[in-house]
Chain A
Amino acid sequence: MIAEFGSFCLILALALSAAQVGLSLAGRVREEASLVGAGEGAAAAAFLAMAIAFGCLMTAFITSDFSVSNVAANSHTAKPLLYKIAGVWGSHEGSMMLWCLALTGFGAMVALSGRGLPARLKATTVAVQGTLGLLFIGYTVFASNPLLRIANPPVEGASLNPVLQDPFLAIHPPFLYAGYVGMSVVFSLAVAGLIEGRTDAAWARWVRPWTLAAWSLLTVGIMLGSFWAYYELGWGGWWFWDPVENASFMPWLAATALLHSAVVTEKRGAMAAWTLFLALLAFTFSMLGAFLVRSGILTSVHAFAVDPKRGALLLLILGLTSGAGFVLFAWRAPKLAPGGLFSPVSREGALVLNNLFLCVAAATVLYGTLYPLIRQAISGEAVSVGPPWYNLTFVPLMTAVLLILPIGVLLAWKRGDLKAALRRLIVALAAALVVGGLVLVANAPQKALAVGGATLGAWLIAGSLTEFAERIRLGRAPWAESWRRLGGLPRGGLGMTLAHIGVGVFILGTAYETAYRIDAAGVLSPGDRLAVGAYSLTLTSVGEAEGKNYVAERGQISVSRAGQIICQAQPERRLYAPGRQTTSKVALCLRDLGDVYVVMGEQRTGPHGAPGWLVRAYWNPLARLIFLGPLLMGLGGALSLSDRRLRMGLPRRAAEVAAKAAA
């Protein structure tokens, strides 16, 4: 019954989305508040119906109802509860349910919360959001309904792939999808703004919180996935420039550019057309990602269930929605009010540069992702574009934009003083050079990547702190004055500082870890040692361990440094009974923000003829900074989002700018 009720609610959500479109549009055309209100109600109801459908699917997973095909294919009675729940979004059909849930959820939020939004703009936005819901829920109902029954239910399910049974992967998709789909609101606002001809500073002020929310969620989502890959796949890597990773990274780059250009539009009324373009682009990239991942058109290390028919449908949805968006843009954008003027050396100028670099970087990622496809189609040759390619293209572009970041944040709006900004940055520059020098002196062999990366990271952190100190006039005003200013600082500014520090932390960790990662491998019998860098690993014993749905060999490895034991690593080699799959469970010993990373492989005959195990170990110095950085960025985004100014309707200043631009 539960599955049928869920199916019913899913179809109801489809019908309510249609009602949402119809009522909002009719209300907008006839200028009738009651119809508009009904459209908003339909949006909320669509979310409710979708949530019930999702709850039904989750119930089917928790109760292991194998008469539901999706549950039979992805669940198992012996699976721990957390992974039964995570199994809901572990398959294509289930993840589309999550997508639709987020889509209707954001739709309901716009409908219920957008009080300060001009009535017409809001009605149109709700209608556009409803159209997106209609398309994606329609796709779920007709092409990938997870609630369908099967005629002969199996006694036991096929279980979820064991590498996916991990707490981080359980929460990674909800964050990622909320981020992807959060861009839909931005898309809807852009389309509605184009239709209504309202893309002024007030519009930008409305776009920004949604962008911030989606961007923060996406940042954290990507970080969680990356951390999962780092410690679950057992290769020691955390980013592979794989198409599936790129699919999540391209919307992130577009959203990052949008976040910055929306500030210019909001504060100065300039770059409105460009901001609109990015708003359309961000969600287009989200949908492109869904298409690339689901169609199986690209070879990825992440295996997904693929279905060419579904791929074609997703491509159709992508073509329809963003095609319509961009056609509308081409038609209406030339009529937009021109923005304010600014000198090349100004905050606006710096943000234009930021956008140029970010967009060109996104374009290189797009090209690298699609190139194998193009090449295959033209010449039939199979090629792969891997990390070396991105290191040569993407990395220099991002380095350039990050170098100018601390200068940009110190420039004033309209007309900045470059010399004064540079003068204020002398301390930061000195700090960066000292950090770079320390890395140079402290390590042998010296590596340019580590020195350069550490200098750049420190430059970003020190530069952001400089800007923060400037704001509260630290050292230039009495302490009490600085303290008072700190209290009055808008959270938006604090969020920006925190996010920029996060970028610096990330760069520092990435460069250092990449340059100084050490690995070692050997077949160890109990009592044997393996040295990795300054650390020494001794295999004491290998015992057996048992989980809810697996049995494992568990190694006891003591990790020591300079004769002192610093931790007991317990890597496991698990055999999951359902599906008979083995996975390695990595053991991490956190030490000075780095990891001693231990993987135990299969059993082999050791060097002395005794049974041994293949043990691989890495020393990943400062590896945790790689994940701490994006977390800080996400927190910065959340902090900015809590800024009161973003939640107020039409602030005076923005209205003044709009009035000036119109005059």
Chain B
Amino acid sequence: MSLLPRSRKARQRLLVIAVAAPILAAAAGLTLYAMRSSVSFFYSPSQALAAHVPAGQGIELGGLVAKGSVDKRSDGEVEFVIADHAASSRVNFRGDLPDLFREGQGVVTKGAYRPDGVFEASEVLAKHDEKYMPREVTRALKASGEWRGDPQPGAEHP
């Protein structure tokens, strides 16, 4: 007496399900596992301070580039300060800044805090459009009361 269904059609269907289930389970498992380790959170400097982001943890840090804070050194490194109304973070970045990087404008950087509290950025997000304000920065600035009007929708690419 077999537990398998009698009709060949049903057996074929059962087989497909038996193959599909582990693939789906594996995909779901991978997804959840990757969610724990490979997703980075966005913080503004004051949010990062409040959340006590540990050194070495990969995050995105965004805010306004403080006026007069950009120091481009001859060894190719750049230092600048990202600020919101309540706090600021020194950021160190090695590489070429995006063409639209400006003092006083919004920016998003990816990287991690060093033990000495300086944010080591591996990537400064290049936005194609100079009028564009990163969404997270807008939200964080709105939350901290430093928002001054909506940016214009800008040029684009399809």
Contact = CB atoms under 8 A, between A and B. Distances in A.
A172 B158 CA distance: 9
Nearest to A395: B30
B95 A386 contact: no
Contacts of B20: 356
Interface in B14-70: 15-16, 19-20, 23-24, 26-27, 30-31, 33-35, 37-42, 60
B126 A338 contact: no
Given A161-B157, A303-B154, A356-B19, A384 B39 contact: yes
B125 interface: yes
A587 B37 CA distance: 37
Contact of B155 (A305, A523, A614): A305
Contacts of A176: 158
Contact of B40 (A304, A352, A384): A384
A304 to B, nearest CB: 4
A299 B155 contact: no
B110 to A, nearest CB: 8
Among all A-B residue pairs, the 3 with the closest Cβ atoms: A382-B42, A388-B38, A392-B34
Interface residues of B, number: 52
A383 B153 contact: no
B27 A363 contact: yes
A90 B96 contact: no
A584 B30 contact: no
B99 A583 contact: yes
Contacts of B23: 356-357, 360, 397
B76 interface: yes
Interface stretch (A102-110, A187-195, A534-542, A602-610): A602-610
A176 B8 CA distance: 43
B148 interface: no
Among B35, B100, B155, find the residue whose CB has the most chain A CB atoms closer than 10 A.
B155
Given A397-B27, A616-B95, A388 B154 contact: no
A29 interface: no
Interface in A324-359: 338, 341-342, 344, 352-353, 356-357
B12 interface: yes
Q: Interface extent on A, as a size class?
A: 35 or more
B24 A360 contact: yes
A367 B31 contact: yes
Interface of B: 8-9, 12, 15-16, 19-20, 23-24, 26-27, 30-31, 33-35, 37-42, 60, 72, 74-76, 94-97, 99-100, 110, 125-130, 132, 134-136, 139-140, 153-158
A158 B155 contact: yes
Interface of A: 73-74, 89-92, 95, 158, 160-161, 163-164, 169, 172-173, 176-177, 233-235, 296, 299, 301-307, 338, 341-342, 344, 352-353, 356-357, 360-361, 363-364, 367, 371, 381-386, 388-389, 391-393, 396-397, 521-523, 581-584, 599, 601-602, 604-607, 612, 614, 616
A176 B158 CA distance: 10
A599 B110 CA distance: 21
User: Which secondary structure characterizes the binding site on chain B?
Assistant: mixed
Nearest to A86: B158
Contacts of A616: 95-96
Contacts of B135: 296, 299
A37 B11 CA distance: 47
Given A386-B38, A599-B96, A392 B74 contact: no
Nearest to A307: B153
Contacts of A383: 39-42
Contact of B153 (A160, A306, A614): A306
Nearest to B62: A382
Given A303-B128, A583-B99, A614-B76, A160 B155 contact: yes
Nearest to B72: A604
A486 to B, nearest CB: 36
Given A160-B155, A522-B76, A233 B126 contact: yes
Contacts of A338: 9
28 contacts: A90-B157, A91-B156, A160-B155, A161-B157, A177-B158, A302-B128, A305-B155, A305-B156, A352-B16, A353-B19, A356-B20, A357-B23, A360-B23, A361-B27, A364-B30, A364-B31, A382-B140, A383-B40, A384-B60, A385-B38, A391-B38, A393-B31, A393-B34, A397-B27, A584-B99, A601-B96, A614-B76, A616-B96
Among A301, A384, A581, A601, find the residue whose CB has the most chain B CB atoms closer than 10 A.
A384
B72 A301 contact: no
Contacts of A173: 158
B74 A304 contact: no
B76 A521 contact: yes
